[in-house]
Copies of this chain bind each other. A is one copy, B any other.
């Protein structure tokens, strides 16, 4: 069923009207009177609606409910700024795969670092990519995309999860499976490095901050593949599929 994200508070009472991009999208889809659509606030509430008037996109609310497509586990993807459009790729895919937020941060070997000035525009663009992927994949929440000013800030924030994990290509002993197997978890942080990898010093810092350092196997994954591989495995482990 087609899904529209609206501002929180846009649904009041038993009716609402699609406007702007949503109205345009409804037109493109040739939605007709009597057809059903889902309206979501992007924060986990949704309204099953029926098109009452397709000329002005008035919808009638049939039912309000909590979204049924969100993962039970809240996974935050922490990714060191990669080059070019790789962050956009990861935002789109991590949204489909059910991440609750995507956090980008600088690390020692980052080649690309957006400057303060251009960052606002970029964040807008990244948030739009997340919203679009959330809509297409049928999510009830739009993951937040945010950036942090330093590696230390990323560690501190990531460490607050029940399972705070960093992936490092030279770690061989601790598997992700072993890290996830001890005790239950409701929140997970997955931290991965940039193209050139993480420095040993950074791995030490992460351990000191309370993160567990894990392997993703014997093959070297690209910086845009590692977070999505880890996220898929965590969702699998948590019983999502």
> A: which residues have CB within 8 A of B?
68-71, 93, 96-98, 136-139, 175-177, 214-222, 225, 228-230, 232-233, 235-237, 239-241
**Interchain CB contact under 8 A, A138 and B241:** no
**Interchain CB contact under 8 A, A240 and B220:** no
Q: With A and B bound together, what is the CA distance between A218 and B3 in angstroms?
A: 14
Tell me whether A176 and B217 are in contact in the complex, defined as CB-CB below 8 angstroms, given that A96-B225, A222-B96, A232-B232 are known contacts.
Answer: no
Tell me whether A93 and B139 are in contact in the complex, defined as CB-CB below 8 angstroms, given that A69-B219, A218-B68, A241-B215 are known contacts.
Answer: no
Among B70, B98, B217, the residue within 8 A (CB) of A98 is B217
Among B218, B236, B240, the residue within 8 A (CB) of A236 is B236
Closest to A232 in B: B232
- Give every chain B residue within 8 A of A222 (Cβ-Cβ): 96, 136-137
Task: Report A92 CB to chain B, min CB distance, Å.
Answer: 8
Task: Report A161 CB to chain B, min CB distance, Å.
Answer: 19
- Give every chain B residue within 8 A of A237 (Cβ-Cβ): 236
**Interchain CB contact under 8 A, A175 and B136:** no
Tell me whether A236 and B69 are in contact in the complex, defined as CB-CB below 8 angstroms, given that A97-B219, A138-B220, A219-B139 are known contacts.
Answer: no
Q: With A and B bound together, what is the CA distance between A75 and B32 in angstroms?
A: 44
Q: With A and B bound together, what is the CA distance between A207 and B236 in angstroms?
A: 23
Closest to A240 in B: B217
**Interchain CB contact under 8 A, B233 and A216:** no
- Give every chain B residue within 8 A of A215 (Cβ-Cβ): 241
**Interchain CB contact under 8 A, A241 and B177:** yes
Task: Report A142 CB to chain B, min CB distance, Å.
Answer: 13
Closest to A89 in B: B89
For this complex, 23 residue pairs linking A to B, each with C-beta atoms less than 8 Å apart, are A68-B218, A93-B225, A96-B219, A96-B221, A96-B225, A97-B219, A98-B217, A137-B219, A137-B220, A138-B218, A138-B220, A176-B236, A176-B241, A177-B236, A216-B241, A228-B229, A228-B232, A229-B235, A232-B232, A233-B235, A233-B236, A236-B236, A236-B237
6 smallest CB-CB distances across A and B, nearest first, come from A232-B232, A233-B236, A217-B241, A69-B218, A229-B232, A137-B219
